[in-house]
């Protein structure tokens, strides 16, 4: 019995910190809006957090990889996303909660700028960063 306890303690302490990830809430704790924007000639669906726009496809992939949550297919078209909102809403809440305090861009999937989520949001994008502007 003592050996088993010692073995359990050793495994717990030797487990990498990345494997001990905190769960990402799938509750609507962080307000967000949805928007479409164009990047590299392609229309994308974005998640607007304050004055930042996240490409949902890229953010979803990042969340799956970094937070270790199960993969969820999120539609790439706004109409389909709205139609399937009941199925994907928990993942959108997770994205908003996970990225609410993101400070640095990751790859080319991040937008930031001065766009207001209360106005129509468009984005002028480059391959390294997206800049949001309200119209």
Distance CA 116, CA 108 (A): 21
At 32, list the tokens: 């967000």
| pLDDT of 118 above 60 | no
Q: Which H or E run contains 97? A: helix 85-99
- Per-residue model confidence as pLDDT tens digits over 1-47: 566 555 555 555 554 444 445 789 999 999 999 999 888 788 999 99
At 20, list the tokens: 């001990």
Q: Which DSSP string corresponds to 41-93?
A: TEEEEEEEETTEEEEHHHHHHHHHHHH-PPP----SSHHHHHHTHHHHHHHHH
Q: Which residues contact 37 (CB under 8 A, 6 or more apart)?
A: 43, 44, 46, 53, 111, 121, 122, 123, 125, 130, 132
- Per-residue model confidence as pLDDT tens digits over 48-78: 988 888 999 999 999 999 999 999 999 999 9
Which pTM value belongs to this model? 0.67
Q: Where are the domains of the chain?
A: 2-134
Q: Which residues contact 65 (CB under 8 A, 6 or more apart)?
A: none
Distance CA 90, CA 95 (A): 9
């Amino acid at each position: 019995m003592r050996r088993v306890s010692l073995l359990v303690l050793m495994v717990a302490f030797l487990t990498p910190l990345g494997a001990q990830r905190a769960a990402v809430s799938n509750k609507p704790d962080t307000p967000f809006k949805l928007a479409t924007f164009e990047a590299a000639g392609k229309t994308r669906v974005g998640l607007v957090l304050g004055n930042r726009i996240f490409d949902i496809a890229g953010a979803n992939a990042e969340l799956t990889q970094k937070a270790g949550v199960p993969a969820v297919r999120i539609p790439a078209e706004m109409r389909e996303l709205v139609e399937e909102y009941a199925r994907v809403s928990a993942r959108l809440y997770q994205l908003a909660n996970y990225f609410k305090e993101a400070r640095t861009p990751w790859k080319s999937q991040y937008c930031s700028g001065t766009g207001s989520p209360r106005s129509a949001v468009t984005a002028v994008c480059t391959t390294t960063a997206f800049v949001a502007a309200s119209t």
